[in-house]
Structure 1
Amino acid sequence: MSLYASGDRAGSFIVDAEISHLHGEQWDDDEEVSRDLGSQDLEVEISIDETQLHLKHTVAVDSSSTEVDFPLRGIPARFEPYSVTVKASRHDGRKVYTAKTQLYHLPRRTDGGSITKLDSLYGGLLVQNQTAGSTSTWSPLLPYSFYVSWDGWLEKSLSNVQKFKDDGYNIIHIVPNAGLANQAFNFTVLDQFLDKCDEVGLWVMYDMRWTYKNHTSVRYQVDMLKTHRSLLLWYTGDEPDGNSDPVHAPKATYELIKSLDPWHPVSLCLNCYNFHYAEYSSGADIILSDVYPIGINATYSTVWDTPCNTTYGDCGCDDCKGEFEDIAVRLDRFAEYQTWLGRNPKTFWGVPMAFGNESYWPRYPTPDEEITMTMLSLNHNAKGIVMWDYPTSDALAKATSQLSRVVASNEVARFMLGSSTVPLSVRGGPSMDAAGWRVGDKMLVSILSLQYSAWSSSVTVELPESACAITQVLWGSGHWRLVNGHLVKDGGESLETDLVVVQF
C-alpha cells in the first residue's frame, strides 16, 4: 500500500526481480545470457531503518509481484517515512543487488478526515466508510463519475449533490470556476457543498487546475479542505502537457501537497501521446488519460484548417486514428513508458468523452459508444473512470446512470481491484476486445464488440483455464455459453458489451 495507518496490523512489500534490457544492474559479466535464469533464486533481505525489523525471503530470478508480508508492530506511527533497504544476493554470493524505497506508517487521524490508500500491486483505491464514523475496515473503491461543472450546475442547489449520488455515481470531480478572482471557488458555498457530500457519502475529487502552480493558493486550499470526510484525492494539472505548463510544476506541487496532507493521493490528466511524459507524470500518483476519438477528422483539422500528422496539426486527439482503439493504445503506451523509465507502475484512469457539438467534435457519443469507451478503458487496466463532462445529454445521463449500478458496485470492484487485468484472446467475429480479473475460483470477464454493425459469426473468448459455469451476467445479452471451457456466442449486435462471471 502507498501508506499504512495506525490500526493496521500488517503490510507487505512487492519484490520485482525481472530481467530487463533497458535498465538496472548487470546480471553477471561471466555468465551466459542464454542460460535459464528463471530456474535460479535470489536471497532477498529487507531492512527498515530505525527499527529491528529484518525480513528474509527467496524469490525467483525474472519473477515479479512477489509479496513479502511484515508486521507493523514495532514500527511506530509517524509522519516521516521510514527508509527501506532491499538487498538481493546471488546464491553463490558473488553479486549483491540493492534498491531503496520508503514506508509510510502514519498516526491515527484525530481531525475527522478520511484516508485513501493506493494499492501498489493492483492499482486500486481503498477507503473506509466515511459515513460510518470510526472504522478499521478498508474497502476497494472503483471510481465511476464525471467532471462536473461547479458554476454551471453544482453551486445552483445543494439538492444536486443528492441527485448525483442517487444517479449511482460514487465520486464527484468538481471543476473550479476560472472566472472568479481566485480561479477556484466561492469557498463559503463550497464548504456547504462539502458538508453535504460528507453527509450523503459522496467522495470528492478536488480540482486545482487553475491554481496548482500558485503554491500560496494550494497551501490555502489543502489546509482548508483536508479534514473533510468526503475528500478522496487531489487533482492538480489538467492537460499540463497539452498546455505546455512548466515541466517540473506538477512535481513541485505534488511535494507540497504531500507535506501538507500525506493521507490522500494526487492525480493529474495528460492529453498528449508523449510530450515530456516522464516529467509530468512524476507529479502524480494517478494519471488520467483523456482520449476523445468520436466524430473527429483525424487527418485534417476542421478548426485550424491544417493537416494533422505525427509532427504537426491539432485534430482534437493527439496521434489518434479516430477509433475506439485510440483509447486502448494510449493506456497501454503509458504503462510501457513506466517500464521504459524503470519506475514503479502508475495507476491509470480513463476519461471517456461525454460531450459534443463543439470544435473538433461535431456530435455527442451515442450511449453504446459511451459504454464501449468506458469498458475499453477498464479492459486496458484503468482503475477509475471520470467522464468529461456533466451535465451531459439526457441519453448519456441515462445510460451512464444505468452502468454505474454495475461498474461502481462492490462486486465489480472486488474483481477489478483485487487482481491483475488479464488480456483475453478472441477468435472469430468482428473486431473485439476482452479482459478478465480472477479472484479465487471465479473470473469477471468483459467482452466488447468494437464494430458498428451486427455480426452473425461464432466468437470464442479463450479463458486461462476451462470454466465449468457462468454464474452471473452483470451486463449485456446473457447469450454466451461454455464450450470446452471457453465462452462462445453466435452473433451479436453492434458495439455490444457483455460482463459475465465464470467459475473454474
Structure 2
Amino acid sequence: MNKPFLCAALAALTVCGGTGTAAPKIKVQPRMNYFTERDSVATIIVTGKQVPGRAVLDGSDATVTLTRHGNKTYALPLDALKTGDNTLRVRVGDSTYSVRLTRLPHKDNGVQIDYLTGVVRAEGLPVIPSGFYCYSPVQPTLAEEEAVRGMNLISPYQNIGKQPRKERIAYLDRAAQLGMRVNYNLLSIAGGGGGAKAASTDKAKKMELLREEIRALKDHPAILSWYVADEPEGQGISAETLEEIYDIIRAEDPYHPITLVIMSAGPGRHYAASCDIIMADTYPVPNSSASDVIGTIRGLREELQYEKSIWYVPQTFGGAEFWTREPTPAEIRMMTWGAALEGARGFQSFIRHGLNGFPKNQFMWETYAKTCREIQELTPFFEQGTERTPRVASAAKLETRTYTLGKQTVAVLLNPGPETAAYKLVLPDAFNGKAYDLSDNSVREVVNGTIDGVLAPFGVQVLRMFADAAEKQAYAGDNRPVSGSNLLIDPSFEWQYSVSGNVPAAVYGNAGKDRGATYAIDSRVAYHGGHSLRMITPKSGEGASVSFYPLPLQLGKSYIMTVWARASEASINRLKKGEKMRFRLNLGNIASQEFELTDKWTKYELSATYTKAASEARYLNSSITLLTAGTAWFDLLEVVPDMDFSVAQDADDPRSFRVTMNNHIPEGVIRYTLDGAEPTAESTLYTEPVKISDVRVVKARVFGPDGRSYGVTEQQVAAHKALGAGVTYLKPYTKYSGGGDGALTDGRVGALRFADPAWQGFIGNDLEAVIDLGAAVPVERITAQFLHSRGDWIVPPTSVEYLLSSDGTAFESLGVIELGGAKDEPMHKVPVSKENIGKTARYIKVIARGHGKMPAWHSHDDAWLFCDEVIVE
C-alpha cells in the first residue's frame, strides 16, 4: 500500500516522524470510517493519557482546532474536510500521528462504522448485524423464516462469474424487502477461501469482474458490506493481495465496509490493513472448551480496538469433519454472549440451510436467534452506554460487564465453565431494588449494590435495573400512558414480557399476505419511553397488522385514536414518483383512515362516534397496518373517549363520592345533569368534582368549540346504605374476585365488559351472601346488578331472592323474583330490584340462582354469573 498516511491508517501504534524508539501505547484513529454532512463534526479517537496538541491537515499550514468531545474523542469542524480522503497529522507528546479522515456526501444505503464502539450504522440507526452464512441459490423461504426470528443479516456463498447475477439480485431484492442486510460474498473474485471456486485464473480478468460486480450492486439497499476472504492465513492468501483488493473495492465504493474472516486472534494485526470489519470463526466444540471464543475475541479487541469493528462467527454446525457434534444450546448462548462482552458487535453464524440441513440441532438455533435478539435489545447500551467490569466477590470465575445508560444499568454475568457457579456480584454503583433477567423474566433482589446468585454450566444472566420508578413499572407491565384515560394496554411498547424483548405485548398479530412481514419492538427508535413498534412491509398491500384488544365500546360515545409515527427516510426515497408512504388506523368498526407518513415523528389522529350496535360490538378493536412497502415506527398509541368519569370516595365524607369529569376534546366544555335528563347546551357547566351522597345516574356530554355536541356519557354512582358493609359468602366466588369480600358493597359499578375489576364472578356456585349493615336501618329498595355477556359465557340469574333479618339467624323472604331463561341478546346490564319494602333490618341475604349451563341457543358449556354491587336504599 503506497499511502502517505500509512502509519496510522494501518497500524496506529507506529509513530510517524518520531524518534524511532518504542512507540507509546497511543492510538489516533478516525471515529467513523467516513463522515457526511449529517455528522455535526468530524471526530478522532486518541487513546492514552496525553491530550493531543497541534493538528494540521495535509495541504494546509493552518492549525486545526481540536475540541474534547468525550472521554477519548476530539472533534474538528466538518467543514475543514474536503470531499474524499483527508490526512490529519496530530501531535501527541513528542510524536506525530497521521490519521485518514474521509468525508462523503450522504447516501441512503451507506454504512458507517463507529470505531469507538464497534457498532455499525445503517440508514442513520445503530445495527447489531445478526445472521448467518447460507448456500446459493438461497433456499426458498429461508430469508422469511429468519426475518421473523429477528435475524437481520444474510451472507450466501456464491460463485460469481458462473452463477447468473439475476439470482444474486433476486435474494438481494428479497432481503431489502424484509429489512435484512447482506454481507456480500466476493470470495470467488476477491481473496478467496471458504471453498469458493475462482471465477478466473487470470488476475486482471478477475479484478475486472470484481469492479463490475461492485459497480452493479453498490447502490442496492440490501448491501451492508463486502466479504473478501475466508481464513486467509490457512489458505495461503497474502496480506498484500488483500490490501490490493481492499483498495480496488474502496475506490469503487467507499460507502460500504470490507470484511474478512480469520481463525484466531494472532493474524489480526497482519490482515488489519485489508478490512474494516474483522471476523473470527473460532469453532471449539467439542475439541476444546467453548470458552476459547472469549479469548479469541479478547485478543482481537486488545490488538485492534478503535481500529476495526470486530464480529464473531458462531459455531452452529458439527457432526462432520473434525467436529463430532454441534454445540449445545447453553454453549452457543455462552459463546455468543461471551463474544459480545469482549466487544463483538456483529454475528454471522456458520451455517444455515433451512429445515434440518444446517444446523441439525434446531433447539440450538432457536437459542442462537434468541441470544441475538437479547443483544439487539441492548443496542443503545452498546452504542451510548458506559461499560465497566464489576467485581465478583466470590471464588466463581465469571465474565462480567455492566452497561449504564441514563437511569438504567444492565449487568451481564457469564459462566464460561462446565460446572455450576455460585456468585456474589458487586456493582460499580450502589443500587437497591429489583434486577430483571432478560432471558427468563425472573427477578433478583439487589441489596447495597450486591447480587447473589447461581449460574448453571455455561450459563448467562442478563439483568436489567432501573433507577427510575416509572421506567421500571413500564418494563414490568404497568402502563405508562400520557393520558390516564387511555384504554390501551402498554401504549408505548415498554412491557418486556417476552424473554427476548422482541414481540409487543397486548396485541394480536395478523401476518398479512407476505409471510416475511414483521412487527417487533425496537429499542433504537422511540418517541415516548424507550421503545417503539417497528413494522416492515415487504410488498405494498401485503404487510402485517397489529390489533389492540380488548377495549369497551359504549353506544353514543365518541372516541379519539392517536399515534405518533415516522417512516425510514430510505423507504420514502425508494418510492416511485407519485407514491406515498401510507398506513391505516382502524378504530374498531367505528371508522378507519389512511395517513401519509414522513420521516419525522408526527402525531396522527382519528375520531368517530359509535352510533349503531352490532351483534357483538362490545370491544373497540383498534389496529395499525403499514400499507406501503418499507419500514415505519409507531409509538404512544392512545384511544380515549371524548370524556370519562372517575369516581372516588369523598375525602371528608366516606359515605359520599366525588365525580371527576375528564374532557379529551381540545377547547371543549362539559355540561351535566343529575336528574337523568339528557345534557343540553344549557345544562350545568362542569368546573369541579361533583359530590354525590345518594344513588343516582350522572349524565354528561362534551360540547366542542365548533358547536358540535358529542355522545352522552353516563355513570351510576351508588352512595347507598350498605356502602362499606361486611359481606359473608355462603358460597364462594370464583376467579373474578371484584376486589375481594367487600366487592358487593364497595360502591364500584362495573362497566360493560367482564374484565372490569368491579365484577365478581361465580361458576359452579350460585351467589349466596349475607350483608351486615352494622345496625338496623330502614330498607326501602334493594337492587343487585348482573351482567349479560353471551360471548363471554356470562348470563344473568334465573331468579333472585332478598331476605331480611335483625339477628343474622332468622331471615324473612321478600319473595322470589323470577327472571327465566337468558335470551340471545347483545351485552347489557340486568338490574334486579325489590321496591317499596318498608322494613327495618340489619342483615340482608341475597340468593341469585345461576343457569349452571349456557342456554341451548348458545352451547352447553358452564355459565358464569357476574354481579358488581348490591345497592341498598
TM-score, normalising length: structure 1: 0.76
Task: Give 1:327's aligned residue.
Answer: 293
Q: Is 1:198 matched with 2:176? A: yes
Displacement, 1:50? 5.4
Q: Secondary structure at the match of 2:232?
A: coil
Task: Give 2:38's aligned residue.
Answer: 7
Q: Is 1:85 matched with 2:89? A: yes
Q: Secondary structure at the match of 1:282?
A: helix
Task: Give 1:285's aligned residue.
Answer: 276
Displacement, 1:475? 1.5
Deviations 1:442-497 (A, max 9, x none): 32221122343445x4x1123222234446432146343213212221x3433322
Q: How does 1:51-450 map to 2 (within 5 A)?
A: 54-56=64-66, 65-73=71-79, 75-76=81-82, 78=83, 80-88=84-92, 96-109=94-107, 114-128=109-123, 138-151=124-137, 154=138, 156-157=139-140, 159-177=141-159, 182=161, 185-213=163-191, 214-274=206-266, 276-296=267-287, 322-338=288-304, 345-391=307-353, 392-393=359-360, 394-409=362-377, 412-419=378-385, 421-428=387-394, 430-450=396-416
Q: Distance in 2 between matches of 1:17 and 1:256?
A: 34
- Is the contact made by 1:355 and 1:365 (CA closer than 8 Å) also made in structure 2? yes
- Is the contact made by 1:437 and 1:445 (CA closer than 8 Å) also made in structure 2? yes
Task: Give 1:46's aligned residue.
Answer: 55
Q: Distance in 2 between matches of 1:294 and 1:43?
A: 45
Q: Structure 1 counterpart of 2:147, which letter?
A: K
Deviations 1:322-344 (A, max 9, x none): 112211111122233348xxxx5
Gaps of 5+ in 1: 19-40, 90-95, 129-137, 297-321
Displacement, 1:378? 0.6
Q: Secondary structure at the match of 2:172?
A: helix
- Is the contact made by 2:172 and 2:222 (CA closer than 8 Å) also made in structure 1? yes
% identical aligned pairs:
20
**Structure 1: 4+ residue segments shifted above 4 A:** 49-53, 56-59
Q: Structure 2 counterpart of 1:119, which letter?
A: D
Q: Structure 1 counterpart of 2:318, which letter?
A: G
The aligned length equals 415
Q: Structure 2 counterpart of 1:266, which letter?
A: I
Displacement, 1:43? 6.1
Q: Structure 1 counterpart of 2:158, which letter?
A: P
Task: Indicate how the Cα distance of structure 1 residues 175 and 437 shifts in structure 2: closer, same or farther if over 3 A, else same.
Answer: farther
Deviations 1:115-174 (A, max 9, x none): 11111211111111xxxxxxxxx21111111112224xx2x42x3322221121011122
- Is the contact made by 1:426 and 1:433 (CA closer than 8 Å) also made in structure 2? no
Q: Secondary structure at the match of 1:386?
A: strand
Q: Structure 2 counterpart of 1:116, which letter?
A: V
Q: Structure 2 counterpart of 1:369, which letter?
A: E
Task: Indicate how the Cα distance of structure 1 residues 2 and 226 shifts in structure 2: closer, same or farther if over 3 A, else same.
Answer: same
Q: Secondary structure at the match of 1:199?
A: helix
Q: Distance in 2 between matches of 1:495 and 1:426?
A: 17
- Is the contact made by 1:118 and 1:125 (CA closer than 8 Å) also made in structure 2? yes
Displacement, 1:74? 5.5
Q: Structure 2 counterpart of 1:45, which letter?
A: R
Task: Give 1:496's aligned residue.
Answer: 459
Deviations 1:350-385 (A, max 9, x none): 111100110111111111111111001111111111
- Is the contact made by 1:380 and 1:421 (CA closer than 8 Å) also made in structure 2? no
Task: Give 2:514's aligned residue.
Answer: none
Q: Distance in 2 between matches of 1:361 and 1:58?
A: 50
Gaps of 5+ in 2: 1-31, 192-205, 354-358, 468-873
Deviations 1:193-238 (A, max 9, x none): 1112222211111111232143222212211110111111111110
Q: Distance in 2 between matches of 1:427 and 1:346?
A: 34
Task: Give 1:484's aligned residue.
Answer: 448
Q: Structure 2 counterpart of 1:101, which letter?
A: V
Q: Secondary structure at the match of 1:99?
A: strand
Q: Distance in 1 between matches of 2:277 and 2:398?
A: 28
Q: Structure 1 counterpart of 2:376, which letter?
A: A
Q: Structure 2 counterpart of 1:423, which letter?
A: T
- Is the contact made by 1:43 and 1:57 (CA closer than 8 Å) also made in structure 2? no
Q: Secondary structure at the match of 2:458?
A: coil
- Is the contact made by 1:149 and 1:176 (CA closer than 8 Å) also made in structure 2? yes
Q: Structure 1 counterpart of 2:41, which letter?
A: A
Q: Secondary structure at the match of 1:288?
A: strand
Displacement, 1:502? 2.6
Q: Is 1:464 matched with 2:425? A: no
Q: Structure 1 counterpart of 2:65, which letter?
A: L
- Is the contact made by 2:414 and 2:455 (CA closer than 8 Å) also made in structure 1? no
Q: Distance in 2 between matches of 1:273 and 1:4?
A: 29
- Is the contact made by 2:435 and 2:445 (CA closer than 8 Å) also made in structure 1? no
Task: Indicate how the Cα distance of structure 1 residues 116 and 57 shifts in structure 2: closer, same or farther if over 3 A, else same.
Answer: closer
Q: Secondary structure at the match of 1:450?
A: coil
Displacement, 1:390? 0.4
Task: Give 1:300's aligned residue.
Answer: none
- Is the contact made by 1:203 and 1:230 (CA closer than 8 Å) also made in structure 2? yes
Q: Distance in 1 between matches of 2:51 and 2:352?
A: 52
Q: Distance in 2 between matches of 1:323 and 1:385?
A: 20
Q: Secondary structure at the match of 1:446?
A: strand
Displacement, 1:270? 0.5
Q: Name the structure, 1 or 2, with higher relative contact order (CA <8 Å, separation 6+).
A: 1
Q: Structure 2 counterpart of 1:187, which letter?
A: R
Q: Structure 2 counterpart of 1:494, which letter?
A: P
Choose 1 or 2 for highest CA Rg: 2
Deviations 1:382-418 (A, max 9, x none): 1111111103222223222333332223xx1111232
- Is the contact made by 1:122 and 1:419 (CA closer than 8 Å) also made in structure 2? no
Query: Root-mean-square deviation (CA), in Å?
Result: 2.6
Deviations 1:40-60 (A, max 9, x none): x6562333345777204589x
Deviations 1:299-347 (A, max 9, x none): xxxxxxxxxxxxxxxxxxxxxxx112211111122233348xxxx5322
Q: Structure 1 counterpart of 2:262, which letter?
A: L
Q: Distance in 2 between matches of 1:399 and 1:277?
A: 29
- Is the contact made by 1:383 and 1:417 (CA closer than 8 Å) also made in structure 2? no
Task: Give 2:786's aligned residue.
Answer: none
